[in-house]
Amino acid sequence: MRTFGLIGKSLTHSFSKDFFSKLFEKENIDAEYINFELKDIAEIKGLFAEQKNLSGLSVTVPYKVAVIPFLDELSREAKAIGAVNTIVIQDNKTIGHNTDAFGFQQSIKPFLTLQHERVLILGTGGASKAVAYVLKKIGLDVLYASRNPKSENEFHYDEINIHMVKACKLIVNCTPVGTFPNVDECPQFPFEFLTEEDLVVDLIYNPEKTVFLQKAQENGATILNGQAMLEQQALKAWELWNGRESQF
């Protein structure tokens, strides 16, 4: 039996195990999917050594960037993005891929219009790197909000003002703030400056509508959560692991 799994720090409420287990059963594939909680990313070395039938892994926060030094190779896209959310293990070689970019592109495609010239991304972690990669390819200007700004296109949350919100008709929350069970939390943002012209995306999928999205919707914005992105990136990972598309 082939083994697949998810690595992260807290995986109790993860979508992946149930999704892939059902998919393996539906496709009649002899495989299991296991959650591997790692206190430190260095523990992945032991995981690779102990799990002899390991064929692939999904990677979630906070290890999408930290996992890179422990891999043998990166796909061209993962290298360009600087983050990995899918690992393929083949011929004793670990290859890092990024299917988040594909998932995000597929999910946001129906919502983008010509007025979306600039985006403000909340967070600078692994998920934000994939989102920025997609939007830059499309031709959008990308700005970031960060607790610790480090470059000229990064701003502290306190610096987000009416002019920035009016210039960025697309806002994407790439932070985990508001994820279950901490559903009452919300990233710092001046929601009062939003209008019906704005598209606000939260990559969180549990809860379905975060406080962040609720407040954005109350101020007239169109909202989108992370469920579609999650499913699309998972199906792309499946394709990489099995060499074919799922019929799911």
- String of DSSP letters for 11-53: -TT-SHHHHHHHHHHHTT--EEEEEEE-SSGGGHHHHHHH-TT
Active site members = 64
Q: CB-based contacts of 55: which residues, under 8 Å, 6+ apart?
A: 2, 3, 4, 31, 88, 89, 90, 241
Integer Cα distance of 30 and 74 in angstroms: 27
Q: How many CB atoms lie within 10 A of CB 137?
A: 11
Residue 26, Cβ density class (10 Å: 0-12 exposed, 13-18 middle, ≥19 buried): exposed
153: which 2 tokens? Answer: 């296109």
Q: Give the separation between CA 189 and CA 122, rounded to whole angstroms.
A: 9
H-assigned helices in 61-201 = 76-81, 100-108, 126-138, 162-167
Rounded CA separation 45/56 (Å): 14
The separation between the first and the last C-alpha atoms of the chain, rounded to the nearest angstrom, is 21
